[in-house]
Amino acid sequence: MKIGFIGLGIMGKPMAKNLLKAGYQLLVFDVNPVPVKELASAGAEGASSSKEVAQKSDVVVTMLPNSPHVKAAVLGPNGVLEGAKPGMILVDMSSIAPLAAKDVAAEAAKKGVEMLDAPVSGGEPKAIDGTLSIMVGGKKEVFEKCQGFLGKMGASVVLCGDIGAGNTTKLANQIIVALNIAAMSEALVLGAKAGVNPETIYKAIRGGLAGSTVLEAKAPMALSGNFKPGFRIELHIKDLANAIDTAHEIGVPLPLTCQVMEIMQALKVDGKAGNDHSGVIQFYEKLAKVEARK
């Protein structure tokens, strides 16, 4: 099986590297030539367009920022569908709106191309070590064909339903992550303002009911003031916007999600859109006029 990989950013590059390490033939493309050259030096073949990737691949994986980027790469000029052969499989691992995934899948079907939407969770660290959580939507038989190589990028690979179900599940994931980070931030800033060492609070609560994967990953970053992005605030804004739009379309209120969205928007206005989403704590620190640092 020859796999094409389009999108070699913070997440895509280490994911592609894990496929190479697993022994897959890999053809790669990105609008930025630097990671293409890096992957080529590691054993991949570089391509000059999404169309070329599709022409030479049995499966094409896309890992792009948002719905418009996926539509451009797949449906646009020199896109995947221009080079795709009937029977090719498109696996979009981007986090996009569920309706956008359905739209792309419908266009792909006209060319005889099957599609899975398979967004991921875990951020850059889990992309690097190949332990992402992968949430998949699509036909069971197509999923089974791809399950092997998806397992080289993720520790958990779950078929959630038909096309769009993967991204619906990812939106649910992103709501929970955002609210966890906000709750963590409130708690640590409260402790700092009250004169209790926030690192001590983290150590005391991590083994109890408040403990979580989010707390383990994000509290150390917040406490050290290290907001180098594993997952940028601006990308979480994109995911929450998709969640809110989808919820409004089907009649589901998301009051807490909307609150966190406004917190992240305030941070964006403050010039912190490129921070890791653990940087949400800075919103609370500004309000309370205290830093929660170890």
Q: Could you confirm whether 170 is annotated as catalytic?
A: yes
Annotated catalytic residue: which of 170, 218, 238, 272?
170
Q: Which of 121, 146, 162 is the last residue of a domain?
A: 162
Same domain flag for 24 and 43: yes
Domain that holds residue 124: 2-162
CATH code, 248: 1.10.1040.10
Tens of pLDDT, residue by residue, the chain (294 residues): 999 999 999 999 999 999 999 999 999 999 999 999 999 999 999 999 999 999 999 999 999 999 999 999 999 999 999 999 999 999 999 999 999 999 999 999 999 999 999 999 988 889 999 999 999 999 999 999 999 999 999 999 999 999 999 999 999 999 999 999 999 999 999 999 999 999 999 999 999 999 999 999 999 999 999 999 989 999 999 999 999 999 999 999 999 999 999 999 999 999 999 999 999 999 999 999 999 998
Query: Looking at the 3D structure of the chain, how many domains does it have?
Result: 2
pTM of the model: 0.92
3 state DSSP class of 102: helix
Rounded alpha-carbon distances, angstroms, from residue 41 to 11, 63, 118, 124: 19, 20, 27, 21
In a domain, 43, yes or no: yes
Query: What is the per-residue DSSP string for 168-206?
Result: HHHHHHHHHHHHHHHHHHHHHHHHHHTT--HHHHHHHHT
Same domain flag for 123 and 229: no
Q: Which of 162, 178, 206 is the last residue of a domain?
A: 162
pLDDT (tens digit, 9 = 90+) per residue, 137-156? Answer: 999 999 999 999 999 999 99
Q: Exposed/middle/buried for 289, CB within 10 Å: 0-12, 13-18, 19+? A: exposed
